[in-house]
Structure 1
Amino acid sequence: MKSYQSLSGAQNFLVEIQENQWSGEVHSTFERTINLVDGSGTLYTIAAAELDDAPNTIRVAGFFKEHIHLPLKTPAFVQNNQLMFEGVASIAVNEARKWQYPQIKFPAKEAYEQVLVRSQQVQNWLEEREIKGGYLLNDRQATTYEKMMHTMLWKESTILLEYLKNKQPFQAMTQLNRVIGLGPGLTPSGDDFLVGLALIFTTVEYPYHSLQQWLVNCRKTIKRRTNAISFSTLDWAIKGAARERIGEFLNELFYGEHDALLKQKMLAVLAIGSSSGGDILAGILAGIALTMTLLEI
């Protein structure tokens, strides 16, 4: 049995391992991540060292380079402060750095104009880049299907945003069914857009508590309409948490002063998945625009 060391991880997951309080099984495997599921159906992730920290995730050195074979439903459990796959591998967490998603505060009123300026700068940068799918599609070689999906994503999401702007939560919840699960991929574009939207609504001191509550009320609907992996990401966004690079981008967007650093943080988010990063950015920008409209800025 091979032994590995976790470099860092979500504080709650590390504590559960250190206190021998976790067990589950392999849910799904990918090139640089392995998802585990516990008895309650909650997803946890083992990620390659080069990835960033994320909720319910531990980053492990060397694990993926050796192509460890873990069939689906392989039992995983904790023993002696290590995550174990019996007879295959163990992951020690004693030296792992604990990570938590930062609390991101919505900017104060005097900063609204600056946030709008920086949001527009991000939009301009995105329009200059060739993006091959989802909400930000601008590839001249895009297929008819990709163009059709791009149009449909914006159509359904614009209707959703209009209901939210007009403070019609029940109509918005119905419209949500037309956005969740829309688009191809493991995490559909519609879901990723909603992740970005949720991360604006759940910032600390967000001025419209009703939109935060609307998200919570939609949780069961979201769970029914999408797959477990996409729901896990959305559920964390509803709780106000996401991958480290997304939090860094939001902090830079709200409080930074340097365009070069903002662009660097934007590109890091854009690199998530094939179109997920772009779709999340589209949701973030849409969330800011909606909020500023409601604030009559």
Structure 2
Amino acid sequence: MIRRSRTKEPEVTVAVQKQAVRQVAAVSVDADLVARLPEDGRRGEVHSVHEHVINLRTPDGLLCCLASAVLDDAPRTIRVDAAAWPALRWHRGDTVRFGPGPVLRPAPGGVDVVLAGAERRQPPATDLSAVGPDRLRAAAAVIAGLLPMPAERSPFEAAAAEVLGRRTAGLAAVIRHHDRDSAAVTPAVSAAATALVGLGAGLTPSGDDVLTGLAVVAAADEGRLGAVRAGIVRALTAGAPLEERTTAVGAAMLTEAAAGRARWRIHDLLTTIATTAPGGPELRAAVLAVRAIGHTSGTDVLEGVRLGLLAAADLTPDLKEYR
């Protein structure tokens, strides 16, 4: 007598369902990235794979990424619904075909990502130019109060943190000791910012994270921080290619930050600073959202934002009225 086991049937069904998944629809995509992605079938490759992010290199050399929707929107980013994310079993070094059409096709047997119906998004624009110095300093104080206490560090980590703190303080001093109209600001900021590029370990070194926070604030307050922004841009574009001085992900992040573009939650923080009272719960929540980025990246970004806010407060013209 042959006995048939019913316990195997659900497993077969699941396997069939998994095999049936051949396409995943992106839910949102950076609008600027869409214009830069080829759709003619040329090939790129998977640069690196992480828990919620798959970094891709386009045929033109642009680094961009797929991300699970558990993360917020960001420059050069295509977001995929979190429930569908496990289906993307892409691996480092896999070939990716860009097109034909708005679709990413991995090596044979992989799951395509279709961009056609994805929402095109841009980071929210924020203008800090009308925010007065007292309010900027109050927001900077809130950020300082929410920065975590340093955890126990290895000797190497302690030494790296000391260098980061010293060079960040040097950049702050350069900004503070020059009038905003002085011709010396831009080259001095450039030299101090260059010393931070690539400083630290990880996908985005701490020095890059600090510069990202500062650059986004400077882009939102060109009136007071235009020379500071120009100095950061010079630091990133002069000399050796940026990817030779930091990680590929750090270089992509810095390039976008210099253009005033960063993860959406960083822009949300600046919007909150511009539109709500510093003592309210909204600012605290926005700061904590940024602090949650990565292991220490959010904390370093906040240090850069704080530096930018204090710089804008110090460089406020005496005769201009602010809210």
The TM-score range, normalised by the shorter chain, is 0.7 to 0.9
Q: 1:118 to 1:171 in 2, by over 3 A?
A: closer
Q: 1:43 aligns with which of 43, 63, 79?
A: 63
Aligned 1:165-204 pairs, distance under 5 A:
165-167=176-178, 168=184, 169-203=186-220
Question: How many angstroms does 1:69 deviate by?
Answer: 3.0
Q: Does 1:256 align with 2:276?
A: yes
Kept in 1, the 8 Å contact 2:214–2:307? The answer is yes
Amino acid of the residue matched to residue 294 of structure 1?
L
Kept in 1, the 8 Å contact 2:213–2:301? The answer is yes
Q: 1:38 to 1:296 in 2, by over 3 A?
A: same
Determine what percentage of the aligned residue pairs are the same residue.
Answer: 27
Q: Does 1:159 align with 2:170?
A: yes
Amino acid of the residue matched to residue 191 of structure 2?
T
Alignment-derived partner of residue 5 in structure 1: 25
Partners of 2:306 and 2:89 in 1: how far apart? Answer: 39
Alignment-derived partner of residue 29 in structure 1: 49
Question: How many angstroms does 1:208 deviate by?
Answer: 3.3
Secondary structure, aligned partner of 1:179: coil
Amino acid of the residue matched to residue 62 of structure 2?
T
Kept in 1, the 8 Å contact 2:48–2:55? The answer is yes
Question: How many angstroms does 1:116 deviate by?
Answer: 1.6
Partners of 1:174 and 1:125 in 2: how far apart? Answer: 30
Partners of 1:214 and 1:21 in 2: how far apart? Answer: 38
What's the CA shift string for 1:158-187, capped at 9, x where partnerless?
112222333443344333332211112121
What's the CA shift string for 1:15-69, capped at 9, x where partnerless?
556x835743222211111111223322111001211101111111244323503
Amino acid of the residue matched to residue 166 of structure 1?
H
Alignment-derived partner of residue 105 in structure 1: 127
Q: Does 1:78 align with 2:95?
A: no
Alignment-derived partner of residue 119 in structure 1: 140
Amino acid of the residue matched to residue 105 of structure 1?
D
What's the CA shift string for 1:71-125, capped at 9, x where partnerless?
315133112432222421211223211110122112415x332222122122112
**Larger mean Cα displacement after TM superposition, 194-203 or 213-222:** 213-222
Partners of 2:76 and 2:53 in 1: how far apart? Answer: 12
Q: 1:283 aligns with which of 301, 304, 312?
A: 304
Kept in 1, the 8 Å contact 2:167–2:195? The answer is yes
What's the CA shift string for 1:174-203, capped at 9, x where partnerless?
333322111121211111001011111111
Alignment-derived partner of residue 286 in structure 2: 265
Alignment-derived partner of residue 77 in structure 2: 57
Q: 1:289 to 1:90 in 2, by over 3 A?
A: same
Gaps of 5+ in 1: 131-137
Secondary structure, aligned partner of 1:163: helix
Kept in 1, the 8 Å contact 2:193–2:232? The answer is no
Kept in 1, the 8 Å contact 2:88–2:111? The answer is no
Q: Which structure: larger Rg?
A: 2
Secondary structure, aligned partner of 1:25: strand
What's the CA shift string for 1:124-164, capped at 9, x where partnerless?
122xx44xxxxxxx22x333333322221111121122223
Question: How many angstroms does 1:216 deviate by?
Answer: 2.2
Partners of 2:140 and 2:170 in 1: how far apart? Answer: 21
Partners of 2:100 and 2:54 in 1: how far apart? Answer: 19
- Output the TM-score relative to the length of structure 1: 0.87
**Larger mean Cα displacement after TM superposition, 198-207 or 93-102:** 198-207
Secondary structure, aligned partner of 2:135: helix
Question: How many angstroms does 1:204 deviate by?
Answer: 5.1
Question: How many angstroms does 1:206 deviate by?
Answer: 3.4
Amino acid of the residue matched to residue 177 of structure 2?
N
Secondary structure, aligned partner of 2:260: coil
Q: 2:236 aligns with which of 219, 231, 234?
A: 219
Q: 1:247 aligns with which of 263, 267, 276?
A: 267
The RMSD of aligned alpha carbons is 2.3
How many residues get paired?
285
Following superposition, which runs of at least 4 residues in structure 1 exceed 6 angstroms of deviation?
Answer: none
Alignment-derived partner of residue 134 in structure 1: none
Kept in 1, the 8 Å contact 2:46–2:56? The answer is yes
